[in-house]
Amino acid sequence: MSLQPVLIAGQWRAARSTEIFHAANPATDETLPGEFPVSSWADCDAVLNAAAEAANSLRVTPLEQIAQFLTRFAERIEARKADLVELAHAETGLPKAPRLGDVELPRTTNQLRQAAAAALEGSWAMPTIDTKLNIRSMLAPLGPVWVFGPNNFPFAFNGIAGGDFAAAIASGNPVIAKGNTSHPGTSQWLAEEAFAAVTEAGLPPATVQLIYRTSHADGERLAADPRTGALAYTGSRSAGLKLKAAAEQAGKPIYVELSSVNPVLILPGALAERGAKLAEEFTGSCLMGTGQFCTSPSFIVLFAGQAAEQFIGAAKQKLETTPPTPLLSASVRRSLEASVQTLRAAGAELVCGGSPMPAPGSRFANTLLRVSGEKFLTTPEKLQTEAFGNASLVVVVRDAAQAAQVLEHLEGNLTGCVYSDTQGADDALYNQLAPLLRQRVGRLLNDKMPTGVAVSAAMNHGGPFPATGHPGFTAVGIPASLRRFGALHCYDNVRPARLPAALQNRNPNGKMWRLIDGHWSQGDVVV
Amino acid sequence: MSLQPVLIAGQWRAARSTEIFHAANPATDETLPGEFPVSSWADCDAVLNAAAEAANSLRVTPLEQIAQFLTRFAERIEARKADLVELAHAETGLPKAPRLGDVELPRTTNQLRQAAAAALEGSWAMPTIDTKLNIRSMLAPLGPVWVFGPNNFPFAFNGIAGGDFAAAIASGNPVIAKGNTSHPGTSQWLAEEAFAAVTEAGLPPATVQLIYRTSHADGERLAADPRTGALAYTGSRSAGLKLKAAAEQAGKPIYVELSSVNPVLILPGALAERGAKLAEEFTGSCLMGTGQFCTSPSFIVLFAGQAAEQFIGAAKQKLETTPPTPLLSASVRRSLEASVQTLRAAGAELVCGGSPMPAPGSRFANTLLRVSGEKFLTTPEKLQTEAFGNASLVVVVRDAAQAAQVLEHLEGNLTGCVYSDTQGADDALYNQLAPLLRQRVGRLLNDKMPTGVAVSAAMNHGGPFPATGHPGFTAVGIPASLRRFGALHCYDNVRPARLPAALQNRNPNGKMWRLIDGHWSQGDVVV
């Protein structure tokens, strides 16, 4: 096996490392070819120097080139699709079709193209002009962005190709990607295409850089480094909180996505009306990606009664008869097992599953647990443990008052769903309970499972802590996700020719939305 | 002297306290009547409970009532103007006219009225509608906001009446004000008017609450409390950083404004062209409010030469012949003396001033220091110490290269100014140096001192750390300052009648700007 290079300052070069790691196929336990380096501080220092220089160049780079890069990168990913899908499949165990090839890769290139359009149009920066006082402001790139991609979307959230990457680049910042440990080869290949596209578009070579891993200490050091502009992290809560503390102590904006159980509340009328259909919908959603979606519904609130028991029975049957698909890694399986143990120790009863499947492969039996509302309220914190993977917990509440108490004990989540009947029988309950859920989630759904996260301008893939670090931002959706990586630049009495194009009287492209004296307009400033 | 009450849950009541403090007149050193309590945790707990309840009520309160409150509060402040100005003058030493009565109080009521209009219109929440996918989102109140007001603006940034207060209320949140220690009486009287206006508008009684002080430990505890929604803090860097760490560890958004030396770069052409006028402009600005503006120009970069010496000479003469006005408190004077010592110990030479004035009153001689660019670069951190008050440092650089190095060593600041000549002789230097300053400040000015902070939609009163905690937000300017206190609420497939008014098809007031399918519009969603 050969030691793979890192991408630093426009060169694929040997890492300065002391340790190595390799990826494994979680479906077979086979070690995959290729050894990858754990970078030392020397590598971090080098990428930061190069990124700081690239950030300065990017500030004066025409937006057309940034858009061209994003578009060319999308095209190159599509051209290498078959290989990328094959490798991502080997590294993650996710199905080649439809998941990787027909859904995730097209989503990734769609995001890159949407980001290209947003970069070119420029409205994301919210140019604001006060003609009376001659004060003008807009968001501007804030500097090198570290993107720590998660394990569960090797394309769509990859540090070198995914949503955070696209948002950071489109807002004019260089990206330093920290490739996820479980799919380093996919990250490397994406970085090859990204770098080729950088060259084609004539951007500074260090616009995109890639290292694979660092020590935890170096992770905290790079988060606080003066050359760092911002960070985006999606991953485990414990590592994320350490990175967040280090970054925030140094005053660096950091956007973390840490964990979410995504509560689903099924009201009695809905259960009576279409319980069997809902059980089907729920199991389909909670097994999607072997339950390894950030928005997987793993916390279901039902009202006690025969309909609830039927729902649980139907879900059990479906879960037991569906062969478990592989988890992303042996480490995910270990965490899942530990989380299920935590839930059981706190009083949840096993309905089905609960154990790892025999080798080969990192599989876990499709798992359902249940707990009464009363029991939940005795240890609400433990019983909200995220069991990342194919496990969900049903909380069976006695009545509306207990349902309200359960909701009031929820931490911040990405999503929350309420199912109600179509004839209005659940409306009073909805009005009582939905406001409690609303305050604790970023996205509230009706009659729909949360696993689809559309790339929409109105999307919120974010939520109150600890789902994410700040409830005002979304990681998915353009242009809002770009604004995370902008610093507000105000120009007070600055001479006209010295203003950025977006703040001059003339609308630079006739399409940019600007807030001029309180009115949003695509026109020029009328003088 | 009588112990003054705190305002908790709609009652003016005795504080649960163990300590007391009193205000002093900094112009005379006289102790002012009225003893004020240092609240214990019991008070913090009570305000948090009441605020959490008020937050829930406010979410369903018609916007008209919130706007009515803000307007009535402004009217009540105006009706009590003479008394308020008298008391604020006694507590702060700031002149009654023009400063307190003709500038700061009208600014305060103007802010409240602008906030009322913004609350009513609703555009601040950036309602975003994707009609194809039926996903809709907007910013919504995130819960009780603690406002820690600074010492330097007893009206305009007061925790119970100032910019942060107005922004938090207009975005639908209750405010818990932590009155500043140096003007507790003014805060109390403003709270009386605020509470009367709350009652008139029929808002929940705990929409506004006031305590004066807590222990530092309780401060960190309240920042991290689950009932806290967010915090806004303007004050000393050391206390602010502790509060920030406590809040962020608990995942609470906190907006801090910590310190700023507000660099001013005067290019050689401008100095040659109008040096005497600029010296006049500079001294006027740096003595404004005895130099106790957040945006006071206390770091001036000049190019070495005869014109620079003339500028320094003219400034010295003006500073020496202007009688020093009082500082805000004895504590400010102690800090100023210590900061000047720090600057001198790091190599700055005294041009004039440098010592406290004899009693009575907390006055300090108008102070100017100077240091060479070379010397500055040996200890750039110490030589950027904020000397809050009437002291400024001139850095005399050898040439453009050294000027660039000095700028590159600057921390984040609220403002940065560049003066250049009117004939274009400075243009090349401007193009070289302004981009370096741009990255390190929130507001870049041309040919203008930074002390005026207009309440404009395009204003940025914010900047890179440590000026503030996040470079993307402003504390002044409506509607942007309101967005700090919003959580992003997304509605996915939610039934039409259940949507907030701002997200329904019909524009609720015909004035609200909404981003509908990529177009900003004041119209209805066309179905």
Nearest to A460 among B460, B471, B488 (CB): B488
* pLDDT at site B18: 83
Q: How far apart are CA A78 and CA A45, in angstroms?
A: 33
SS3 A416: strand
Nearest to A488 among B135, B457, B471 (CB): B471
Query: What's at B235, amino acid-wise?
Result: G
Instruction: List CB contacts (< 8 A) between A232 and chain B.
Output: none
- Element housing B211 (H / E): strand B208-211
The interaxial angle of helices B81-92 and B105-121, nearest 10 deg, is 120
Whether residues B458 and A137 touch (CB distance < 8 A) is answered with yes
User: For A427, which residue in chain B has the nearest alpha carbon?
Assistant: B498
Active site residues of A: 257, 294
SS3 B126: coil
Query: Which residue intervals of chain B bear CATH 3.40.605.10?
Result: 50-121+136-258+474-482
* pLDDT at site A2: 84
Which of A137, A255, A295 to mutate against chain B (most B CBs within 10 Å)?
A137
| Burial state string for A395-414 with b = 16 or more CB within 10 A and e = fewer than 16 | bbbeeeebbbbbbeebbbbb
Q: How far apart are CA A37 and CA A58, in angstroms?
A: 29
User: Which residues touch A224 (CB under 8 Å, ≥6 apart)?
Assistant: A246, A247, A249, A250, A252
State the pairing for strand pair B519-521/B514-516.
Answer: antiparallel
Give the total residue count for chain A.
Answer: 527
Structural tokens at position B154: 């007893």
Instruction: List CB contacts (< 8 A) between B117 and chain A.
Output: none
* pLDDT at site A1: 54
- pLDDT for B145 beyond 80: yes
Query: What's at B89, amino acid-wise?
Result: H
Whether residues A498 and B446 touch (CB distance < 8 A) is answered with yes
Please give, rounded to a whole number of angstroms, the shortest distance from the CA of A512 to a CA of chain B: 10
Instruction: List CB contacts (< 8 A) between B516 and chain A.
Output: none
User: For A496, which residue in chain B has the nearest alpha carbon?
Assistant: B446
Instruction: List CB contacts (< 8 A) between A136 and chain B.
Output: 458
Instruction: List CB contacts (< 8 A) between A483 and chain B.
Output: 472
Q: Other CB atoms closer than 10 Å to residue A83's CB: what's the count?
A: 11
Closest CA to A415 of B497, B139, B503, B490: B490
- pLDDT for B66 beyond 80: yes
Nearest to B135 among A435, A454, A470 (CB): A454
Whether residues B442 and A490 touch (CB distance < 8 A) is answered with yes
User: Is B181 in contact with B147 (CB distance < 8 Å)?
Assistant: no
Q: How far apart are CA B343 and CA B338, in angstroms?
A: 9
CATH code, residues B263-446: 3.40.309.10
User: For B468, which residue in chain A has the nearest alpha carbon?
Assistant: A251
Whether residues B465 and A251 touch (CB distance < 8 A) is answered with yes
Instruction: List CB contacts (< 8 A) between A448 and chain B.
Output: 492-493
Instruction: List CB contacts (< 8 A) between B469 and chain A.
Output: 251
Q: How far apart are CA B297 and CA B135, in angstroms?
A: 47
* pLDDT at site A18: 83
- Element housing A37 (H / E): strand A36-39
As assigned by CATH, the class of the A31-122+131-258+474-482 domain is alpha beta
Instruction: List CB contacts (< 8 A) between B129 and chain A.
Output: 458
Whether residues A488 and B472 touch (CB distance < 8 A) is answered with yes
Query: Following DSSP, what letter does each residue of B278-313 receive, concatenated?
Result: HHHHHHHHHHGGGG-STT---EEEEESSHHHHHHHH
- Tokens 């009695």 sit on residue: A268
* pLDDT at site B1: 55
Nearest to A251 among B128, B466, B491 (CB): B466
Q: What is the dihedral of CA B407, B409, B414, B415, to 10 degrees?
A: -10
User: Is B146 in contact with B44 (CB distance < 8 Å)?
Assistant: no
Q: How far apart are CA A266 and CA A311, in angstroms?
A: 10
Whether residues A458 and B137 touch (CB distance < 8 A) is answered with yes
User: For A241, which residue in chain B has the nearest alpha carbon?
Assistant: B249
User: Is A73 in contact with A197 (CB distance < 8 Å)?
Assistant: yes
Whether residues B457 and A130 touch (CB distance < 8 A) is answered with yes
Nearest to B489 among A438, A448, A480 (CB): A438
Whether residues A248 and B253 touch (CB distance < 8 A) is answered with no
Give the tens place of pLDDT for each residue, B391-403: 999 999 999 999 9
User: For A258, which residue in chain B has the nearest alpha carbon?
Assistant: B251
Q: Provide the H-helix boundaries in A346-417.
A: 373-378, 400-408
Query: What's at A385, amino acid-wise?
Result: T
E-strand ranges in B212-337 read 230-234, 254-257, 263-266, 299-303
Query: Which residue intervals of chain B bear CATH 3.40.309.10?
Result: 263-446
The CA radius of gyration of chain A, in Å to the nearest whole number, is 24
Instruction: List CB contacts (< 8 A) between A139 and chain B.
Output: 472
Q: How far apart are CA B153 and CA A457, in angstroms?
A: 39
Q: How far apart are CA B81 and CA B93, in angstroms?
A: 17
Active-site residue identified among B257, B273, B337, B386 = B257
Q: Other CB atoms closer than 10 Å to residue A338's CB: what's the count?
A: 12
Q: How far apart are CA B224 and CA A191, in angstroms?
A: 40
Mean pLDDT of B105-113: 98
Query: Which residue intervals of chain A bear CATH 3.40.605.10?
Result: 31-122+131-258+474-482
Q: How far apart are CA B246 and CA B216, in angstroms?
A: 11
Structural tokens at position A222: 């790079």
User: For A132, which residue in chain B has the nearest alpha carbon?
Assistant: B456
User: For B441, which residue in chain A has the nearest alpha carbon?
Assistant: A489
Whether residues B492 and A445 touch (CB distance < 8 A) is answered with yes
Closest CA to A209 of A179, A247, A245, A238: A179
User: For A60, which residue in chain B has the nearest alpha carbon?
Assistant: B435
Across the A/B interface, how many CB contacts are shorter than 8 Å? Answer: 183
Q: Other CB atoms closer than 10 Å to residue B18's CB: what's the count?
A: 10
Instruction: List CB contacts (< 8 A) between A252 and chain B.
Output: 465
SS (H, E, C) B483-510: HHHEEEEEEECCCHHHCCHHHCCCCCCC
* ipTM of the complex, rounded to two decimals: 0.98
State the pairing for strand pair B263-266/B413-419.
Answer: parallel
A364: β partners: A356
Instruction: List CB contacts (< 8 A) between A251 and chain B.
Output: 412, 464-466, 469
Whether residues A248 and B245 touch (CB distance < 8 A) is answered with yes
Nearest to A490 among B412, B446, B458 (CB): B458
Nearest to A464 among B137, B248, B487 (CB): B487
pLDDT tens for chain A, 527 residues long, are 589 999 999 999 999 998 999 999 999 999 999 899 999 999 999 999 999 999 999 999 999 999 999 999 999 999 999 999 999 999 999 999 999 999 999 999 999 999 999 999 999 999 999 999 999 999 999 999 999 999 999 999 999 999 999 999 999 999 999 999 999 999 999 999 999 999 999 999 999 999 999 999 999 999 999 999 999 999 999 999 999 999 999 999 999 999 999 999 999 999 999 999 999 999 999 999 999 999 999 999 999 999 999 999 999 999 999 999 999 999 999 999 999 999 999 999 999 999 999 989 999 999 999 999 999 999 999 999 999 999 999 999 999 999 999 999 999 999 999 999 999 999 999 999 999 999 999 999 999 999 989 999 999 999 999 999 999 999 999 999 999 999 999 999 999 999 999 999 999 999 999 999 999 999 999 98
Q: What are phi and psi of A275, to 5 degrees?
A: -60, -45
CATH code, residues B50-121+136-258+474-482: 3.40.605.10
Give the tens place of pLDDT for each residue, B255-265: 999 999 999 99
User: For A242, which residue in chain B has the nearest alpha carbon?
Assistant: B249
Whether residues B251 and A465 touch (CB distance < 8 A) is answered with yes
Q: What pLDDT band is residue B2 in, cutting at 50, 70 and 90? A: confident
Mean pLDDT of B143-149: 98
Nearest to A457 among B128, B464, B471 (CB): B128
Q: What are phi and psi of B155, to 5 degrees?
A: -110, -60
Active-site residue identified among B44, B286, B294, B417 = B294
Which of A227, A447, A456 to mutate against chain B (most B CBs within 10 Å)?
A456
Backbone dihedral region of B136: left (phi > 0), alpha (psi from -120 to 50 degrees) or beta? beta
Please give, rounded to a whole number of angstroms, the shortest distance from the CA of A209 to a CA of chain B: 22
DSSP 8-state assignment for residue A397: E
User: Which residues touch A403 (CB under 8 Å, ≥6 apart)?
Assistant: A265, A301, A303, A373, A397, A429, A433
Nearest to B135 among A459, A473, A484 (CB): A459
Whether residues B442 and A492 touch (CB distance < 8 A) is answered with no
